[in-house]
Amino acid sequence: MYVRLPDDDRVRKHFVISYRIVPMWISNIGTSQMEDAVARQRIERWQVEFADALYDYVFKGGAINPRATVEQLDEIDRTIRRAKEQAAVLGNLKGVVDSSWLDAKGRHVAAVALGIEPDIDPATRPLTVGEFLEGHGIKGATLRSMSTRFGKRLKALYREKYGTEPGTVDRFIDGALRPVACYNESHRDLFNQAWVAMLDTR
């Protein structure tokens, strides 16, 4: 990668690596041919530490760096407490909101608490009318005026295909909590149909 480092007046080609994969990179360094004994011992010590951390993460539910600062531990504690509060809210919503929406949100909360990427089936990722329309360049006042008409057409297509009403979630709209139909990526074909139909009638 070509970058300009501090105290250098030229852009040069440098080997760079994302800090997220540094532990895995170090874990795969072969130390048998390293002549510097101090460096070899340091790398091997890190490799053992990384292996222990990965084991604790996979089999014990989490790993804490023994050298973590008070601030880092406090942030972990806040993250866990926030996740517990969110999980409690989601638990109370069972049977109230759409199950696929609840599943996606629950996986996201768990992933944040664990510091990992959410393990979510792409087909169950929530998809909103606003998000879809914005993806087609609709914004501002046009977005607000079009959302209602688009939503009605989308709901009709959903009823036609599934023979039932879509699930709902409560969202604040214009300062009031209102039930809103919820969809996910598996319904994108209905969104596309509604979009084409609206274009034909404009």
Q: Is residue 110 part of a domain?
A: yes
* Domain contains 150: yes
pLDDT in tens, 5-17: 888 888 888 888 8
Q: Do 138 and 105 reside in the same domain of the chain?
A: no
Contact 47, 25 (CB under 8 A): no
Residue 78: domain span: 70-114
Of 124, 70, 78, whose CA–CA distance to 101 is shortest? 124
pLDDT tens-digit series, residues 65-81: 888 899 988 888 887 78
Domain check: are 93 and 54 in the same one?
Answer: no
Distance CA 7, CA 78 (A): 39
pLDDT for residue 135 is more than 80: yes
Using pLDDT thresholds of 50, 70 and 90, give the confidence band for residue 62.
Answer: confident
183 forms bridges with which residues in the sheet? Answer: 127
Count: domains in the chain: 3
Classify 8 as helix, strand or coil.
Answer: coil
Q: Quick check: is 119 in a domain?
A: no
Domain-located, residue 65: no
For residues 133 and 168, membership in a common domain is answered with: yes
| Same domain? 172 vs 135 | yes
CB-based contact 90:102 (threshold 8 Å) = yes
Whether 152 and 180 map to the same domain: the answer is yes
The answer to whether position 120 is within a domain reads no
* Shared-domain flag, residues 41 and 82: no
Residue 13 lies in a domain: yes
**Residue 123 region, left (φ>0) first, then alpha (ψ -120 to 50), else beta?**
alpha
- DSSP letter string over 152-192? HHHHHHHHHHHSSPPPEEEEEETTEEEEEE-EEGGGHHHHH
pLDDT exceeds cutoff 70 at 54? yes
pLDDT tens-digit series, residues 138-167? 888 888 888 889 999 999 999 999 999 888
127 three-state secondary structure: strand
Whether 96 and 151 share a structural domain: no
Residue ranges in the chain assigned as alpha helix (H): 22-27, 37-60, 70-92, 99-114, 129-135, 140-162, 188-201
133 and 184 belong to one structural domain = yes
Model pLDDT for residues 161-171, shown as the tens digit of each residue: 999 988 887 77
Q: In which residue are the tokens 């696929």 written?
A: 100
**Does a structural domain hold residue 124?**
no
Q: Dihedral (C-alpha) 163, 167, 173, 176: value to the nearest 10 degrees? A: 110
**Looking at 16, 37, 60, which one is the last position of a domain?**
60
Is 191 found in the same domain as 155? yes
**Is the separation of the CB atoms in 136 and 195 below 8 Å?**
yes
| In the chain, % of residues over pLDDT 90 | 24
Q: Which of 60, 79, 94 is the last residue of a domain?
A: 60
CA distance 127 to 115: 24
77 with 106, same domain?
yes
Per-residue confidence band for 119, with pLDDT thresholds at 50, 70 and 90? low
Residues 181 and 133 in one domain: yes
